[in-house]
Structures are given as structure tokens and as C-alpha cells.
């Protein structure tokens, strides 16, 4: 059975993009600590995804906090996905299931000193969180504190990726004050170069420089953030200089903005069509195979992405550079139902979200391709926060999403576990296949990198053989800022970072 562990429902919201962007024009007008230019100019940032879980670190909001340089874990990742020191200065593997981490001298934003007790508390909170963080879908952690500066972490099974896993934003370390009142509140209780001081629902957030940060101090005195789902509105705000940084510029706007404002770079993101393997039309493998045969990836890349994407190669695209050399053909695929059989099926519901502006257009093209194969298709297109809970509960027949395959541990094994195993916490396709689970488990237990990569591509072949997800294309990221006046923006294929201590205007 698929896992019953699901994310909490998100609150519906309606965003008026024009109304949201107006306050950004005056964000730098005062000279006090809330919005002034003392010590540098405040950054004005517009982001695509509003908080879905009130800035809880245990869902996608953790990525937002990481991209705004608010939170940190024991480790961080370099551009190759290797673990580097963050709140831990060093670590060693004691045996195949136990590691010891040494903490640095650091303080939380509320002034409390970092100790091993804080690390133990934070990791235990993540372990017991509901919904369960995706990064823990294939691992269980037990933390203890031999002394104030040392943390010992054990895993239920051998976990060679533990140092990379601990860099995940959902495993952030917070002070004791974050855990009061029955919820986890990172505002003022994290360790990053910026302190979250205010969240205005799904509309905006305010950050101040953390002057007690253990590393290089932020060059900007603060950040004023607006959340705007409308991609064209984000691009217009950048064009009119209402914002300094615009997250995820739509492909349709990239050529209009020009190279000085648009920064395109490769990603590990795969856009896929998740098919509900448990309920409805696509519970039949033959119907899933028919849907897969209907998809024309090249048409999507040319027609929707104007060539700024790569045709689908599998679950793992060009942003995972070793995948192409290791990939094998899908296994145990069903024979596709013919058009006459497909035409007899009930109407299917195809859902996607507006936060990534290309996806509704992708959904329209996919609907046309499926209709040509004989399917009757109804579209549902809304803000992501309104769709997530229903998607995870399996209420749609098909769901188009853009998924970063390296987001959880910088290695795709966590993505494979969370999205495609029986107990996976992000299993939108509702897949539960013993062979897939065994293949993913095998990959997760391998310490040798080359062997693990081969096992991961074997698992990929098994997943593709089920047609639980039909790869549509591999995205390239487009972030927006004026490179003549805005500096230090992080162009991160793993999407962990955007604003850093070095990000500044001027």
C-alpha cells in the first residue's frame, strides 16, 4: 500500500500580482532598520511560491528559507553535491551506521549558543514531523549528544549519504525557542546570515541581517520579499526595476528581458506526467503505456519552451551528468492499449499549477496529445498550494509537475525513494511495486559512488517500466536580475540557494 503519511493541506489563496508588487517600489525609501539603506541597500526579491505551511521547515517552505539564507544544517553542499562544513566543522564515520560530528562555535539568531542538545532536538523534531520530510523517506536517524560540542548520529540501515542528507533544508538546526506553542517557528531561531523577522501570510516576508552570524556577514542590511505566483508579473517587476531579483522568469519573458536581466543555467529538474497507478483509468498499465506513447517531448520543448529545455531522456536528465552513460532501457513495460480501447475509458482529470508559468501551457499541449490518442481529458489548473494535498492523496488521474531530482540529498536516491516507493512521502503516482522498492533500497545502501549510480539507473529503468511517471522534458533555470547592479546571486542547479551573504545591490 502507498504511504498514508501526507503533507498537511495548504490554505487556498488568491494573489493579485499588481497589488503585491506596488509596495516593493518603496521598500528602500526609509533610513531605519526596517527598510533603509544604512550599511548598504536592502534587497527586493520576488519569489514564485508563497509559504504553503506557514514557513514550517518540514515541507517545501524549508527550501524557501534556504534560498533566502535564513536556515542552515550541519553540512552544506558544493557545486558537485559533495558535503562541506556548515554548523559541523568535521565528521567521521565510526561504523557503517554511526557517524560523529563536531560542532563549530556559533550562535542562533536569538542569541543562544549552538550546542549538541540543539542538534539532537532539531533532528528528533524532523523525525516526528507530520508530514514527514521527503529527505527522511528512505532513512531513519537517531541522534545523541556525548558532550556539548559533539553529536553522534546513527541510522537504522547503512547510509553512506548521511553527510549530504544532513544538508537538506528540512534538517535545519533551530534553537529551543523555535519549538514552543505546538508548532515549529524558524523566525529568529535559525543561524543563517539573514533573520526572518516577519511573515505576512502568503503575501510577503521581511528579513534582517544577522549581525551575530558565525561566517561572513551579509552585505545587504536586509531583504524584502514578495510572493507572486504570476510569472509575467514577476518579469514585469524586474523590467520596471521594482525588484532586484526575480525568481523563475518565464521562458516567454526571457527573450523580451534580454541577456542583461536573464541568467539561464542547467538544472536537475525533470518535468513529468505522474499517472495515478492506484485509482481510475491509469490503474491499468496498458492505459499508462498508451499515455506514454502519446507524449511528444520534442514538441513541448520547441512549442512551449522555445528551445530553452532538453527533450526527455528519463527521470534523470542532463543536470545529472553521469546518468546518460549509465542509463539502461526501461524494464517490464506493458503493451499499450490501442486507440479504440482508450476511447472507451472515462474522462481523466489532468492537473498542474500556475506557479511555474510554462506548466499550464504544457498541460494544454499534453491534453491535446492525449486526446489525439483517444483519451477524454479535463484540466484543473490552480496555484500549487491549492493542489498539493489533493495530488498527494491521489485525487487526480494525472499530474504535471517540475521536480528537482537532486533536491533532497544531491543524489537521486532520495528522489527515487520519496516519489516512487510504497512508503514514499511524495508519491503522487501512488506507485507501490516490490521490484521498484527493492531496486531503490539496493541503491541506497551502496557506499561506492560508481556502484550506487549504476544501481540508481537500474531503479530508474524499473520505474520507467511501470509508466508511473512519463518524463516530459528537462528544464533549464532562468533567474532574473540586472547583472550591472546586482551581484552575488547564487545560480544553483540544486535550488538550495539564491540569496546569499554576498548578494548585494551596487
Q: What is the DSSP string of 221-232?
A: SEEEEEE---HH
Average pLDDT, the chain: 90
Same domain, 62 and 78: no
Same domain, 204 and 284: no
Q: Which residues contact 380 (CB under 8 A, 6 or more apart)?
A: 349, 350, 351, 352, 387, 396
Nearest 5°: CA angle at 100, between 98 and 104?
Answer: 155
| Residue after which a domain boundary falls, among 143, 176, 209 | 176
Instruction: State yes or no: pLDDT of 31 exceeds 70.
Output: no
Cell triple for 351 = 492537473
| Residue after which a domain boundary falls, among 131, 151, 176 | 176
User: What is the Cα–Cα distance from 363 to 152, expressed in whole angstroms?
Assistant: 47
How would you write 268-315 as a 3-class SS string? EEEEEEEECCCCCHHHCHHHHHHHHHHCCHHHHHHHCCCCCEEECCCC
User: What is the Cα–Cα distance from 19 to 162, expressed in whole angstroms?
Assistant: 44
Q: 354-388 burial string, b = 16+ CB within 10 Å, else e?
A: bbbbbbbbbbbbbbebbeebbbebeebebbbbbbb
Q: Are 214 and 89 in contact (CB under 8 A)?
A: no
Give percent above pLDDT 90 in the chain. Answer: 76
Give percent above pLDDT 70 in the chain. Answer: 92
User: What is the Cα–Cα distance from 108 to 104, expressed in whole angstroms?
Assistant: 12
Answer yes or no: is 10 within a domain: yes
Q: Are 126 and 414 in contact (CB under 8 A)?
A: no
Instruction: State yes or no: pLDDT of 25 exceeds 70.
Output: no
Q: Which residues contact 95 (CB under 8 A, 6 or more apart)?
A: none
Place of cell 523580451: 256
User: What is the Cα–Cα distance from 340 to 373, expressed in whole angstroms?
Assistant: 9
Same domain, 219 and 336: no
Answer yes or no: is 184 within a domain: no
Strand 43-47 and strand 222-227: the pairing is: parallel
Nearest 5°: CA angle at 287, between 284 and 289?
Answer: 110
User: What is the Cα–Cα distance from 242 to 235, expressed in whole angstroms?
Assistant: 10
> CA 183, 184, 189, 193 torsion: positive or negative?
negative
Interval 304-336: pLDDT, tens:
998 989 999 999 998 888 999 999 999 999 999
Place of cell 541577456: 259
Same domain, 332 and 358: yes
Answer yes or no: is 284 within a domain: yes
Q: Which residues contact 169 (CB under 8 A, 6 or more apart)?
A: 57, 62, 63, 65, 66, 71, 73, 496
Count of structural domains, the chain: 3
Give residue 171's Cα distance to chain centre. 14
Query: For the domain that residue 77 is a member of, what is the CATH number?
Result: 3.90.76.10
Strand 98-103 and strand 141-147: the pairing is: unpaired
Q: E strand or H helix at 151, and its extent?
A: strand 150-155
Same domain, 57 and 205: yes
Instruction: State yes or no: pLDDT of 194 exceeds 90.
Output: yes
User: What is the Cα–Cα distance from 280 to 461, expressed in whole angstroms?
Assistant: 24
Answer yes or no: is 443 within a domain: yes
Answer yes or no: is 183 within a domain: no
Query: For the domain that residue 230 is a member of, what is the CATH number?
Result: 3.40.190.10
What's the pLDDT at 461?
Answer: 98
Answer yes or no: is 186 within a domain: no
Q: Are 207 and 67 in contact (CB under 8 A)?
A: no
Answer yes or no: is 182 within a domain: no
Q: Which residues pair with 224 in a beta bridge?
A: 44, 206
User: What is the Cα–Cα distance from 183 to 205, expressed in whole angstroms?
Assistant: 19
User: What is the Cα–Cα distance from 483 to 480, expressed in whole angstroms?
Assistant: 9
Predicted confidence band of residue 352 (pLDDT cuts 50, 70, 90): very high
DSSP-derived 3-state class of residue 83: strand
User: What is the Cα–Cα distance from 328 to 367, expressed in whole angstroms?
Assistant: 29
Answer yes or no: is 185 within a domain: no
Same domain, 345 and 272: yes
Same domain, 308 and 412: yes
Of 148, 168, 162, which is closest to residue 94 (Cα–Cα)?
162
Average pLDDT over residues 208-236: 96
| Residue after which a domain boundary falls, among 176, 204, 239 | 176
Residues spanned by the domain of 505? 1-70+192-261+482-506
Same domain, 212 and 295: no
Higher per-residue confidence, 352 vs 259:
352
Give the number of other CB atoms < 10 A from CB of residue 97: 15
pTM for the model stands at 0.75
Query: For the domain that residue 444 is a member of, what is the CATH number?
Result: 3.10.105.10
What's the pLDDT at 81?
Answer: 81
Cell triple for 500 = 546569499
Instruction: State yes or no: pLDDT of 286 exceeds 70.
Output: yes
What's the pLDDT at 216?
Answer: 96
Same domain, 255 and 109: no
What's the pLDDT at 16?
Answer: 37
Interval 150-187: pLDDT, tens:
999 999 988 899 999 999 999 999 999 999 988 899 99
Give the number of other CB atoms < 10 A from CB of residue 458: 18
Average pLDDT over residues 476-503: 94
Give the number of other CB atoms < 10 A from CB of residue 314: 21
Same domain, 349 and 465: yes
Predicted confidence band of residue 39 (pLDDT cuts 50, 70, 90): low
Same domain, 16 and 86: no
User: What is the Cα–Cα distance from 85 to 167, expressed in whole angstroms?
Assistant: 9
Same domain, 49 and 66: yes
Amino acid at each position: 500500500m502507498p504511504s498514508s503519511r501526507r503533507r498537511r493541506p495548504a490554505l487556498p489563496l488568491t494573489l493579485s500580482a499588481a497589488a503585491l508588487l506596488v509596495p516593493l517600489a518603496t521598500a528602500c525609501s526609509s533610513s531605519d532598520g526596517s527598510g533603509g539603506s544604512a550599511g548598504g541597500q536592502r534587497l527586493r526579491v520576488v519569489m514564485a511560491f508563497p509559504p504553503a505551511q506557514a514557513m514550517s521547515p518540514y515541507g517545501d517552505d524549508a527550501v524557501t528559507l534556504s534560498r533566502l539564507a535564513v536556515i542552515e544544517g550541519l553540512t552544506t553542499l558544493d557545486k558537485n553535491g559533495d558535503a562541506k562544513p556548515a554548523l559541523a566543522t568535521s565528521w567521521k564515520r565510526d561504523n557503517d551506521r554511526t557517524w560523529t560530528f563536531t560542532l563549530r562555535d556559533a550562535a542562533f539568531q536569538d542569541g543562544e549558543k549552538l550546542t549538541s542538545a540543539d542538534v539532537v532536538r532539531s533532528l528528533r523534531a524532523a523525525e516526528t514531523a507530520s508530514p514527514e520530510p521527503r529527505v527522511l523517506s528512505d532513512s531513519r536517524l537517531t541522534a545523541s549528544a556525548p558532550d556539548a560540542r559533539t553529536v553522534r548520529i546513527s541510522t537504522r540501515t547503512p547510509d553512506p549519504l548521511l553527510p549530504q542528507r544532513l544538508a537538506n533544508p528540512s534538517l535545519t538546526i533551530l534553537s529551543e525557542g523555535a519549538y514552543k506553542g505546538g508548532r515549529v517557528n524558524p523566525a529568529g531561531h535559525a543561524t543563517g546570515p539573514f533573520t526572518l523577522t516577519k511573515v505576512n501570510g502568503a503575501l510577503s516576508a521581511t528579513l534582517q541581517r544577522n549581525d551575530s552570524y558565525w561566517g561572513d556577514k551579509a552585505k545587504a542590511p536586509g531583504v524584502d520579499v514578495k510572493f507572486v505566483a504570476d510569472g509575467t508579473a514577476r518579469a514585469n517587476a524586474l523590467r520596471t526595476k521594482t525588484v532586484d531579483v526575480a525568481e523563475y522568469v518565464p521562458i516567454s519573458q526571457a527573450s523580451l528581458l534580454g541577456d542583461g536581466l536573464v541568467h539561464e543555467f542547467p538544472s536537475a529538474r525533470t518535468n513529468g506526467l505522474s499517472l495515478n497507478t492506484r485509482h481510475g483509468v491509469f490503474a491499468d498499465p496498458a492505459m499508462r503505456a498508451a499515455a506514454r506513447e502519446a507524449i511528444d517531448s520534442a514538441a513541448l520543448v520547441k512549442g512551449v519552451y522555445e528551445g530553452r529545455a532538453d527533450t526527455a531522456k528519463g527521470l534523470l536528465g542532463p543536470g545529472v551528468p553521469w546518468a546518460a552513460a549509465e542509463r539502461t532501457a526501461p524494464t517490464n513495460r506493458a503493451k499499450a492499449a490501442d486507440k479504440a480501447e482508450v476511447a472507451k475509458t472515462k474522462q481523466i482529470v489532468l492537473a498542474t499549477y500556475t506557479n511555474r508559468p510554462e506548466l499550464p501551457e504544457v498541460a494544454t499541449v499534453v491534453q491535446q496529445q492525449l486526446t489525439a490518442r483517444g483519451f477524454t481529458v479535463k484540466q484543473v489548473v490552480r496555484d500549487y498550494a491549492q493542489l498539493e494535498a489533493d495530488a498527494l492523496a491521489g485525487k487526480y488521474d494525472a499530474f504535471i509537475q517540475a521536480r528537482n531530482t537532486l533536491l533532497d540529498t544531491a543524489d537521486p536516491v532520495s528522489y527515487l525513494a520519496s516519489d516512487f516507493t510504497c512508503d514514499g512521502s511524495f508519491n503522487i503516482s501512488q506507485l507501490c511495486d516490490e521490484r521498484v522498492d527493492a531496486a531503490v533500497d539496493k541503491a541506497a545502501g551502496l557506499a561506492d559512488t560508481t556502484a550506487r549510480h549504476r544501481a540508481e539507473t537500474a531503479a530508474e529503468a524499473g520505474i520507467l517500466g511501470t509508466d508511473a511517471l512519463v518524463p516530459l522534458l528537462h528544464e533549464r533555470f532562468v533567474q532574473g536580475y540586472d547583472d550591472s547592479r546586482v551581484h552575488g546571486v547564487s545560480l544553483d542547479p540544486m535550488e538550495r540557494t539564491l540569496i546569499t551573504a554576498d548578494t548585494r545591490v551596487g
